[in-house]
């Protein structure tokens, strides 16, 4: 461990969630960006072998603070965690990563609970997002509490728990809860439903305002962008008669423009273009309808776009 720490001074520090919903996908992103490292068992620091980078594995909740106020140059965390930390103005949000999408929602019991969020004013709210939820309900208190209630000291009570927030209403700790919701299955199982959404969130790449190696930050960001684009797009390759080329380009415009190459038969051209992976079947149908031939789809492992 001492040997590793001694090697950190000349390396860019990159914080990765050590566990939880963002961990595995963050590791997959690093692999796609060709950041080769070996993490020793029970150690939270790993040296990247092909770059002067050290990966520091931290709780996602702590990463915004370390990037904003510590020596960490880059980090992967959730937009919800950045908002909760209050570090928005102390870091740069470089890139949305497209995974870990969820919503921070106010949830109440389906049976006997509030029907709208203002009905929770002055009551008990349980959450692990104390700062965000406190600010949210402070605004609601100002708007919906009567002057008599304010003078009497009535205020929405925010209770903090570190986990199993969805059980709070059933166990009598709160009248409503605020927690991250992905599919909503957990909340339905707990007999809850949403009455308000505070923020929408996903994983993001964040950066210190003054990174130790700006050129390396740019290179790693470019690689990660390439991995994300490769997950979104496939390369379509097909032959089309020139008389239908204009129509074909409308179907496959590419990110900027398709690549068009002449064939030995002057009446035909070959077209290559990036298309959205989720639309590829419909695009192939449309190309076939206008007479395209030899339509091929190529998966992309990595790219620069």
Tens digits of residue pLDDT in 57-98: 999 999 999 999 999 999 999 999 999 999 989 999 999 999
Q: Which tens digits make up the pLDDT trace of 222-233?
A: 999 999 989 899
- From residue 22, give the alpha-carbon distance in Å to each of 25, 38, 47: 6, 19, 20
Query: Is the pLDDT score of 1 beyond 80?
Result: no
Q: Which tens digits make up the pLDDT trace of 127-171?
A: 999 999 999 999 999 999 999 999 999 999 999 999 899 999 999
Domains and CATH numbers, the chain: 2-100+202-212 (3.40.190.10), 102-201 (3.40.190.10), 233-298 (3.30.70.120)
Share of the chain above pLDDT 90, in %: 87
pTM of the model as a whole: 0.85
How far is residue 111's CA from residue 106's CA, in Å, rounded to a whole number? 15
Binning pLDDT at 50, 70 and 90, where does residue 255 land?
confident
Q: Which tens digits make up the pLDDT trace of 203-225?
A: 999 999 999 999 999 999 999 99
Q: Which tens digits make up the pLDDT trace of 17-46?
A: 999 889 999 999 999 999 999 888 778 999
> CA nearest 194: which of 290, 104, 282?
104
Q: Which position has the higher pLDDT, 10 or 196?
A: 196
| Six-digit token string for 258 | 């398709």
Edge-to-edge strand ranges of the sheet holding 293-298: 259-262, 268-276, 233-241, 293-298
Q: What mean pLDDT is predicted for residues 169-178?
A: 96
Query: Is the pLDDT score of 248 beyond 90?
Result: yes
Query: Is the pLDDT score of 3 beyond 60?
Result: no
In this structure, how many other beta carbons lie within 10 angstroms of the beta carbon of residue 281? 9
> Quick one: pLDDT at residue 305?
73
């Amino acid at each position: 461990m001492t040997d590793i720490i001694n090697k950190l001074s000349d390396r860019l520090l990159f914080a990765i969630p050590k566990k939880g919903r963002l961990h595995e996908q963050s590791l997959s992103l690093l692999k796609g960006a060709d950041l080769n490292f070996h993490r020793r068992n029970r150690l939270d620091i790993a040296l990247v072998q092909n770059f002067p980078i050290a990966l520091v594995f931290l709780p996602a909740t702590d990463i915004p603070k370390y990037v904003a106020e510590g020596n960490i140059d880059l980090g992967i965390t959730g937009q919800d965690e950045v908002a909760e930390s209050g570090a928005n103005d102390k870091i740069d949000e470089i890139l949305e990563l497209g995974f870990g999408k969820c919503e921070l929602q106010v949830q109440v019991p389906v049976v006997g609970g509030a029907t709208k969020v203002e009905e929770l004013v002055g009551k008990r709210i349980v959450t692990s997002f104390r700062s965000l939820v406190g600010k949210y309900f402070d605004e609601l208190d100002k708007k919906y509490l009567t002057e008599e209630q304010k003078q009497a000291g009535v205020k929405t009570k925010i209770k903090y728990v570190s986990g199993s927030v969805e059980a709070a209403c059933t166990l009598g700790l709160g009248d409503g809860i605020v927690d991250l919701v992905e599919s909503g299955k957990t909340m339905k199982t707990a007999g809850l439903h949403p009455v308000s959404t505070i923020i929408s969130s996903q994983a993001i790449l964040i950066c210190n305002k003054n990174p130790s190696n700006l050129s390396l930050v740019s290179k790693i960001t470019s690689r990660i962008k390439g991995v994300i684009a490769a997950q979104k797009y496939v390369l379509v390759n097909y032959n089309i008669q020139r008389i239908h080329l204009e129509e074909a380009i409308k179907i496959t415009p590419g990110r900027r423009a398709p690549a068009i190459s002449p064939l030995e038969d002057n009446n035909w051209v070959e077209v290559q273009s990036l298309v959205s992976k989720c639309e590829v079947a419909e695009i192939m149908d449309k190309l076939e309808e206008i007479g395209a031939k030899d339509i091929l789809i190529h998966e992309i492992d990595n790219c620069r776009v």
